[in-house]
């Protein structure tokens, strides 16, 4: 089942500066850690947009795959951030 491509509306949810920053982050992280990005690039793009949006909102790249009751509070902790626990454990991004 093919996934829809991110739309321009999706891409506009985050600043281009932080989207670029997060693309560099996820690609470097995968390279350095031996992890793998999702084989469907559009899934990784949705992830990157979510990370960048969280930087815009709370100043930190909270994993967009998780629910946070209080994003601002979560951003102050040091136990969160992408690469998420799942990525670190399984070496694969959703």
Is 65 catalytic? The answer is yes
Identified catalytic residue from 63, 65, 84, 93: 65
Taking each helix axis from N to C terminus, what angle separates 41-58 and 16-33, rounded to the nearest 10 degrees?
120
The pair of structure tokens assigned to 51 is 């990370």
Q: Is the peptide bond before 83 cis (omega within 30 degrees of 0)?
A: yes
Cβ–Cβ under 8 Å, residues 83 and 42: no
Task: Give me the DSSP letters along 26-37.
Answer: HHHHHHHHT-B-
* Residues marked as catalytic: 65
């Amino acid at each position: 089942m093919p996934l829809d491509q991110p739309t321009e509306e999706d891409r506009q949810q985050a600043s281009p500066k932080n989207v670029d920053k997060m693309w560099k982050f996820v690609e470097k992280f995968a390279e350095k850690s031996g992890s793998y990005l999702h084989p469907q690039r559009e899934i990784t793009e949705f992830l990157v947009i979510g990370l960048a949006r969280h930087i815009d909102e709370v100043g930190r790249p909270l994993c967009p795959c998780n629910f946070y009751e209080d994003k601002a509070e979560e951003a102050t902790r040091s136990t969160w951030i992408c690469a998420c626990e799942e990525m670190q454990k399984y070496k694969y991004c959703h």
